[in-house]
Amino acid sequence: MFELTLLCPEERVEVLGEAFDALDALSVSVEDADAQTEAEQALFGEPGMPAPREAWQRSRVTALFSSQAAAEEAATLLAAQDFFAGCQVLGIAAVPEQDWVRLTQSQFDPVEITPEFWIVPSWHEPPAGARQTLRLDPGMAFGTGTHPTTRMCLRWIAGQGSAQGLGTVLDYGCGSGILAIGAAKFGAAGVDAVDIDPAAVQATEDNARANGVQLRAGLPDLARGEYGTVLANILATPLKVLAPLLCAHVAPGGHLVLAGILERQADELKEAYAPWLQLSVADSEDGWILMVARR
């Protein structure tokens, strides 16, 4: 495979991406051309929201093609277009042969939840001190244990499961099923995992089998009645919308556990849930918080 790399201004990035798509590029990536210099720019938006701008003032756009001829033809065709003004071709280079599977795997090491509880990809051996492990490989659905919101939920599950018990569990917005599987491993009396994405439901079922645990996975209408623990690791805006529904699923004496919330959003979540339950902050990590209530 061969990479065609361009330097272009911010306002040309979108049209170039569309042009590369029409030219059958295998992939297109955009980077800050001034990265690792004093002119480097940060382009980070809020979770669930678009970035403040689509690209950098000086962007490096790299398109991947299956052959050198295809990359050269793309460069020639683009250079002849009016929208290419202000852009330049930096070069065409062969992509070195690599073991892409091994390279991908090398980016995912075991993740510590507690000193005795670890998330372990299938190609790794469990750490020596791990008494409880959850086997999970990166896939299509969200949730590999690397994000602070997931780790905080799993820490709470491990602590509650070891201390007082979880009862029956509802994982609302299950993604990969990581929280549902964690709950099953820490003694839940039964677990329902639901998501609006059928791919997430399938991933949850597959991951549950790989971990040797029993649960029910399906679309949101699978969730019925009350549960001893209701988990929802989503984002603040949908959590506010779901407040009456989630609270209705919490049994007397049961817990509601919410994540995907930034520290500055704590008060608005408390207000949204106040008619039903009193939320409090139970954990925090890297600007994210875990909020818990008990009926």
Residue 33: the pLDDT is: 85
The more confidently predicted of residues 122 and 86 is 86
In Å, what is the CA distance from 228 to each residue of 96, 128, 162, 190, 295? 53, 33, 15, 10, 10
Q: Taking all residues of the chain, what is their mean pLDDT, rounded to a whole number?
A: 90
- How confident is the model at residue 105, as a pLDDT? 60
| Whether pLDDT at 272 is above 70 | yes
User: Is 145 a residue whose pLDDT tops 90?
Assistant: no
Whether pLDDT at 144 is above 80: no
What is the per-residue pLDDT for 79? 94
Q: Considering the entire predicted model, what is its pTM? A: 0.69
Beta strand extents in the chain (DSSP E only): 2-9, 27-32, 58-65, 88-94, 111-114, 117-120, 132-135, 168-172, 190-194, 216-218, 227-233, 250-262, 280-285, 288-294
Q: Is 125 a residue whose pLDDT tops 70?
A: yes
The full DSSP string for 183-239 is HHHTT-SEEEEE-S-HHHHHHHHHHHHHHT---EEESGGG--S-EEEEEEES-HHHH
pLDDT of 203-242, one tens digit each? 999 999 999 999 999 999 999 999 999 999 999 999 999 9
DSSP 125: P
Give CB contacts under 8 A, 24+ apart, made by 11-16: 12/59, 12/83, 12/84, 12/86, 12/87, 13/54, 13/55, 13/59, 13/61, 14/54, 14/55, 15/83, 16/61, 16/78, 16/83, 16/87
State the amino acid at position 166 in one-letter form: L
| Under 8 Å between Cβ of 143 and 186 | no
pLDDT at residue number 215: 98
Give the relative orientation of helices 178-185 and 148-163 as an angle to the nearest 10 degrees.
Answer: 20
Q: Give backbone dihedrals phi and psi of 10, rounded to 5 degrees, phi first.
A: -50, -45
Does position 100 have pLDDT exceeding 70, yes or no?
no
The number of angstroms, rounded, from the C-alpha of 260 to the middle of its chain's C-alpha atoms is 10
Q: In this predicted structure, what is the pLDDT of residue 123?
A: 85
> Mean per-residue pLDDT for 97-103?
62
Statement: residue 124 has pLDDT above 90: no
Examine the pLDDT at 9 and tell me if it is beyond 80: yes
* pLDDT value, residue 54: 61
Residue 45 has pLDDT above 60, yes or no: no
What pLDDT was estimated at residue 279? 98
Looking at residue 34, its pLDDT comes to 79
Q: What whole-number distance in Å separates Cα of residue 59 and Cα of residue 123?
A: 36
Residue 142 confidence (pLDDT) above 70: no
Confidence band for 99, pLDDT divided at 50, 70 and 90 = low
Least confident span in 51-55, 118-122, 224-228: 51-55
* Order of all β-strands in the sheet with 280-285: 216-218, 190-194, 168-172, 227-233, 250-262, 288-294, 280-285
Stretch 20-44: mean pLDDT? 81
